[in-house]
Structure formats: structure tokens, C-alpha cells
Amino acid sequence: MTTNKILRFLKDLTLIFIILLACFAVFDLYAPIKQLISGADLSFKEVLAFINVKPYFPAAIGASVALAIRKGRTGNVSRQSD
């Protein structure tokens, strides 16, 4: 692998990892949003207490590596021409 390909892979890996962690954080915000809709008074600090991304690190790393490897491949075989 050339240095350019390695840098592209690391850039893709980092970007995908950040996007996945952001998605997991949004999923964690389901409960506070539900409480806010029902009329509960929540402070910003209480809302942030609901976000816990540590348990998602292994899944986010695995998915990020798999997606970055797939993105880096050339010759997309999944497309079929009719």
C-alpha cells in the first residue's frame, strides 16, 4: 500500500467512526426527547447525562473498519449492468 492509500484509509476510518458515534449519541437522546415532549423540565446537564457512548466503542470500531475497507476497494462488483 502506498502512503496515499494509507492516509485515505485512516481518513475514511476516522470519519466513519465519528459518524457512528454521533448516531449512537442521538439514539441515546431518545429518552430525554420523550420526556421533553411530555412536558418534563430537563436542564442541559441532565440531557447530557443520558449520552453514554463507551459501550458502543467495539461495535463502532468494527463497523468503521469494515466500511473503510469496503470503501477503499476498487472495482465495485455489487453493481450489475443489464
Instruction: For residue 64, count other CB atoms closer than 10 A to its CB.
Output: 20
C-alpha cell at 72: 477503499
Q: What is the pTM of this model?
A: 0.72
Read off the DSSP letter of residue 54. Answer: G
What's the whole-number mean pLDDT along residues 39-49? 88
pLDDT of residue 70: 86
Would you place residue 82 in the very low, low, confident or very high pLDDT band (cuts 50, 70, 90)?
very low
Tell me whether residue 20 is exposed, middle or buried, using C-beta atoms within 10 angstroms of its C-beta: 0 to 12, 13 to 18, 19 or more: buried
What average pLDDT score do residues 56-76 get? 84
What percentage of the chain carries pLDDT values higher than 90?
A: 30
* Predicted local distance difference test score (pLDDT) of residue 80: 52
